[in-house]
Amino acid sequence: MTKLTLRDWVGTGLVLAIAVAYVGFLVNGSMPWIEDARGMAAAGLLIGALAFVVIRTGDELDSAGKAETGLALGSLLLGVLAIAVAGSTGAEVVLAIFMLSILAVWVVEVVDHAGLTHWHDRPGMTSA
């Protein structure tokens, strides 16, 4: 098992900032600089992208890295959709799914970096 790096901890802090803002948004209906679902989605998209770049920088683009990047791209698309549908019926559901997807990307990255998975390419194996 490997230890988490400073990048993992910084990324964790960024994801925690998103979570705190989202919980505050749910409780109060707004947060400083976040007045509606569109603002919450935009904040999640920007901070989440930054967290992914911080955590992912320096990782190999092997089969595990491709899967992690694919998961992050799915989250990105959900964020764009959450911004697009903000103010319409069901916008809160899309926002909630987007927030869960940010959490999922973070969990997969941290579990991988902590060495709790063994799904990286093995020496001698090729990834397409």
Q: What is the average pLDDT across 63-92?
A: 91
Rounded Cα distance, 61 and 41, in Å: 28
- Note the pLDDT tens digit of each residue in 19-37: 999 999 999 887 888 889 9
Q: Is residue 67 part of a domain?
A: yes
Is 76 domain-assigned?
yes
User: Looking at the domain assignment, is residue 21 inside a domain?
Assistant: yes
- Please check whether residue 92 lies inside any domain of the structure: yes
CA-to-CA distance for 88 and 80, rounded, in angstroms?
14
* Residue 118 within a domain: no
Its pTM stands at 0.85
More confident residue, 8 or 121: 8
Helix (H, G, I), strand (E, B) or coil at 34: strand
**Has residue 56 been placed in a domain?**
yes
By residue range, what is the domain housing residue 62? 6-113
**Beta-carbon-side half-sphere exposure of residue 113 (alpha carbons within 13 Å):** 23
Structural domains of the chain, count? 1
The answer to whether residue 74 sits within a structural domain is yes
Q: What share of the chain is helix, strand, coil (3-state, %, to 5)?
A: 70, 0, 30
- Please check whether residue 47 lies inside any domain of the structure: yes
- The alpha carbon of 16 is separated from its chain's Cα centroid by a whole number of angstroms, namely 11
What are the CA-CA distances from residue 63 to residues 26, 42, 116, 120 (Å)?
37, 30, 16, 6
Residue for token pair 């992914």: 52
